[in-house]
Amino acid sequence: MSDEKIVEKPFSPGLAGVVGAETAVGYVDGAAGRLLYRGYPIEEVVTKGNYANVLDLLLTGEWHPNAHLAPEKVPPAVLAALRLLPAHAHPMDALRTAISVWGAGERLGWPPTADEAKRIAAFAPSALAAFARLRQGLEPVDPQPGLGIAAAFLQQLHDKEPDPATARALDAYLMVGAEHGLNASTFTARVIIATRSDIASAICGAVGAMKGPLHGGAPAEVIGQLGEIGSIDRAEDWARGKLSRKELIMGFGHRVYRAYDPRAAALRKVAEAMPTRPAWLELAIGAEEQILKVFEEMKPGRAMKTNVEFYAAAVLQGVGLVPDLFPATFALARIAGWSAHAIEQAGVDKLIRPDAKYIGHAERHLPA
């Protein structure tokens, strides 16, 4: 036997603190509350652009103000598959199925391309809207020519063209949700593409990761809270009661950000610019102010600032989405970031294969 000592490699539960990739796609500065897309602050991107600009920026690395993404009809094979799903199916399952069926019918190669990513981003909102209608017993609606991705998604959901302010609010949500570093679903996409699999497989895997309630489900919980609050004058007592009972208040605090979430700030700014403030926005703003005041008083020194889920919930409800569509709409936004990371990982062309620390039995033998 060798006298050489076995050097144990450090173990980090959840890979916390482990650098798993080098990326030029996005930068999350939690301490300062900054989010950069290819170097551009999220506030500037949301103010000056739309989702088509963001998708193109993340995929190409450059800002093209005239970038365009035309919404596409649901491919026949995808629509046929969606018709077979039960009405109780989760919208995330429907979205994953749609992308999987699309990928099965395409001759997708490796490495993944920006064109493939744009094709997924163009039809996926139509597929989600089609499922949302089918489960209500309604027929899907084709996208109206000339509309952007956000406006066409709402038009196909409700069979009515949305007003510009409503479409702009959803477009802002899609932009702030497009990219956020090496989160669980983005890491999943990179792991899959690193095996030299195709981009549809990577996006399907990422959707599966985002379906988990620890990743993509928080905005829906915020809606329940706003419903409990009901009116601004009840917000302070509601927050005091929650904290006194040591219950979580969703939409505040973040694993990364220690300052006000820049995505929440960008969403609030767009919502406040709406020609008339809808009731949902008035409640969200008023409740936020009261909840932050209570946090400062009852949790001094804690970095409990507003995160993106708070205003995401208000915006998604305000544009007419039901809560179980929130995670899938988040996934529509994140297709941009997932795809950009997949293409970047393919450029590295290195299999992602970490070690595992064995904690089982020592060597033993079966009885004679």
| Whether residue 254 lies in the annotated active site | yes
- Tokens 């609030």 appear where? 268
Catalytic member of 179, 309, 341, 344: 309
| CA–CA distance, 182 with 329 (Å, rounded to integer) | 19
Catalytic member of 254, 288, 341, 344: 254
CA nearest to 202, candidates 223, 214, 188: 188
CA nearest to 334, candidates 146, 131, 189, 159: 189
Give the relative orientation of helices 279-298 and 308-318 as an angle to the nearest 10 degrees.
Answer: 160
Tokens of 59: 């995929």
**Is 169 exposed, middle or buried (CB count within 10 Å of its CB: 0-12, 13-18, 19+)?**
buried
| C-alpha distance from residue 20 to each of 16, 33, 172 (Å) | 10, 22, 29
Phi, psi for residue 29 in degrees, rounded to 5 = -110, 90
| Whether residue 309 lies in the annotated active site | yes
| Helices (runs of H) and strands (runs of E) counted in the chain | 15, 3
All residues at 6 or more sequence positions from 81 whose CB lies less than 8 Å from its CB, including other chains:
97, 98, 101
Residue pair 264/308 in contact (Cβ under 8 Å)? The answer is: yes
Containing 297, the helix (H) or strand (E) segment is helix 279-298
Residue pair 321/329 in contact (Cβ under 8 Å)? The answer is: yes
Q: How many CA atoms lie within 13 A of 286 on its CB side?
A: 17
| CA–CA distance, 98 with 82 (Å, rounded to integer) | 7
CA nearest to 69, candidates 329, 333, 343, 341: 333
| CA–CA distance, 363 with 368 (Å, rounded to integer) | 16
Phi, psi for residue 34 in degrees, rounded to 5 = -120, 145
| CA–CA distance, 69 with 59 (Å, rounded to integer) | 13
Catalytic residues: 254, 309
